[in-house]
Structure 1
Amino acid sequence: MFSYLERPGASGTGLAFTDRHGGHSAGTMGSLNLGRTDVDDLAALRRNGRAVLDELGIETMVTLNQVHGADVLLVDEDFLTHRWGPEHWLGEPAGVPPLPVADAMVTTQAGVALAIRVADCVPVLLADRRRGVLGAAHAGRVGFDQGVLIATLDVMRSVGASEVEAWIGPHVCGQCYEVPQDMADEVESRHPGSRARTSWGTPSLDLGEGCQRQLEQAGVSVNRHDPCTLTSPDLHSHRRDGRGAGRQVGIIWRVS
């Protein structure tokens, strides 16, 4: 069910990255699909989400309509009271309002989990555990390049964060993320350290390294729990499975 799990300790903050096992979906998506609500069976999705939330002791999970941008949603008390419900994480296929369009979230609320859905992009979880400020970001190539991580940090700091720690989760690695040479060069020019080579010698991007460097330059300590999605059969990968790929989540929450 999890490729990495850190349960709430003295700080009250927990975080996890799921895998593709232990759920109820069928076919190439793997049993624990937490996205693809447009194609997966809603009954299976409900059971998948409930299994994860029950295991983590969480009632409320917020998700986004991720569009590879840099917008950040503030999940405050008003949002949770007036714009969110138990099944809203499933979006329109479940007959609920459309998901908020953004690629990152920030909250100071206890009892709510922020969940970022990915299949090869980089999920980044962030926390100032002492001040109780949490963030979660979807750092695909475009969003990373547009500054989604810095935008998330800006919002976290605007609501009280000072000492932020980050966790980079599973994503397609630099040895596998092949891109055209001009794209690798362009991203490298703005984010030094992001350019890499595949294991077969072609141009690539190492978004995990790029994210780590960007966060550290912004004064954030970084932890990495990031096996390659493409080469790990325990993880969802769009590059490997195409339209049949499911989605895993990076999820962070605070109990007190």
Structure 2
Amino acid sequence: MPVLVPDWEAPGNVSALSTTRRGGTSAAPYDDGGGAGGLNLGVHVGDSPQAVAANRALLRSRLPAEPGWLTQVHGSQVVDAREASRAMESGSMLNADACIATKPGVVCVIQTADCLPVLFCDSAGKVVGAAHAGWRGLANGVLENTVARMREAGAGDILAWLGPAIGPSCFEVGDDVVQAFVEHDGGCASAFVPRAGTASKHLADIYALARRRLASAGVARVWGGTRCTVSERDQFYSYRRDGVTGRMASLIWFK
């Protein structure tokens, strides 16, 4: 099961990874892009429940505990990952797009297939977090809310890693998306490039937008933000590219 491991300056007791579409059991259109089994981890995308369960078991073998899976709604709510795990044990899932953990062995997880996964930790290795940042959640403050919850929990200096998302050459958006960001921060205009031959379409750099939002929240130490889920077909699921597709997961915990 190939995974991406963040290359960042996290303390030694913090572990994190982001899955790809490769190394699982799912059949097309949730496969690995080359005809072999795909590592789809989403239960809500139409894949075989048995395949998803097998894929989650493969992932679980690399983790200290079962993650607290969330029902993501493109919002900005942040929950405690322990509460998400307890909800799972009782047969339900919390609606949220970010979570934090303050206890060893509690696993934060979010799922993506073009939206931006952001993993967080503090330099002391005592608080970690994960956020699902599609453009709506990003514009509505999901990253700032996650940072605020971490600080409420005692986090000091916070680091962030930007996982695989739709790249700046593929993310076409309309004027409404540009306006949503520029109204909050005029400097965000630099993250949008008018698309040639169109009257109201732009190419958006979600990584640049996230870095600006993180900087405004006092998070200056940021890594990642170099992959493209749309163009790297053999590595990543992409909703924008394929429509019906699987979901990847980004996870973080500490010991």
Q: Give the aligned partner of residue 87 of structure 2.
A: 83
In structure 2, relative to structure 1, the CA distance for the partners of 1:144 and 1:43 (3 Å cut) is: same
The letter of the residue matching 2:97 is D
Contact persistence 1:13–1:129 (CA under 8 A): no
Q: Report the TM-score, using the length of structure 1 for normalisation.
A: 0.85
Q: Deviations over 1:64-94 (max 9, x none)?
A: 1110111110234xx3785343xxxxxxxxx
| Aligned pairs (5 A) from 1:90-239 | 97-191=91-185, 192-193=187-188, 195-197=191-193, 202-220=201-219, 221-233=221-233, 234-239=235-240
Gaps of 5+ in 1: 86-95
What is the root-mean-square deviation in Å for CA atoms of aligned residues?
A: 2.3
How far apart are the structure 1 equivalents of 2:104 and 2:206? 30
Contact persistence 2:101–2:107 (CA under 8 A): no
The letter of the residue matching 2:155 is A
The letter of the residue matching 1:19 is T
Q: Report the TM-score, using the length of structure 2 for normalisation.
A: 0.86
Q: The residue matched to 1:239 in structure 2 has which SS?
A: helix
Contact persistence 2:69–2:88 (CA under 8 A): no
The letter of the residue matching 1:128 is D
How far apart are the structure 1 equivalents of 2:10 and 2:76? 31
Shift of 1:20: 0.2
Q: Give the aligned partner of residue 16 of structure 1.
A: 17
Shift of 1:115: 1.0
The letter of the residue matching 1:248 is M
How far apart are the structure 1 equivalents of 2:81 and 2:125? 16
Q: 2:42 aligns with which of 20, 35, 40?
A: 35
In structure 2, relative to structure 1, the CA distance for the partners of 1:29 and 1:226 (3 Å cut) is: farther
Q: The residue matched to 1:249 in structure 2 has which SS?
A: strand
Shift of 1:148: 0.6
How far apart are the structure 2 equivalents of 1:171 and 1:111? 27
The letter of the residue matching 2:87 is R
How far apart are the structure 2 equivalents of 1:143 and 1:10? 28
Shift of 1:239: 0.6
The letter of the residue matching 1:203 is H
Say whether residues 1:241 and 2:205 are aligned partners: no
Contact persistence 2:181–2:188 (CA under 8 A): no
Identity %: 32
How far apart are the structure 2 equivalents of 1:205 and 1:15? 27
Which shows bigger deviation, 174-183 or 147-156?
A: 174-183
How far apart are the structure 1 equivalents of 2:110 and 2:226? 15
How far apart are the structure 2 equivalents of 1:176 and 1:80? 33
Gaps of 5+ in 2: 32-37
Q: Give the aligned partner of residue 59 of structure 1.
A: 65
Aligned residues: 241
Say whether residues 1:49 and 2:50 are aligned partners: no
Contact persistence 1:104–1:135 (CA under 8 A): yes
Q: Deviations over 1:10-54 (max 9, x none)?
A: 631111111100000111112110114351112211111111221
| Aligned pairs (5 A) from 1:68-79 | 68-76=74-82, 79=83
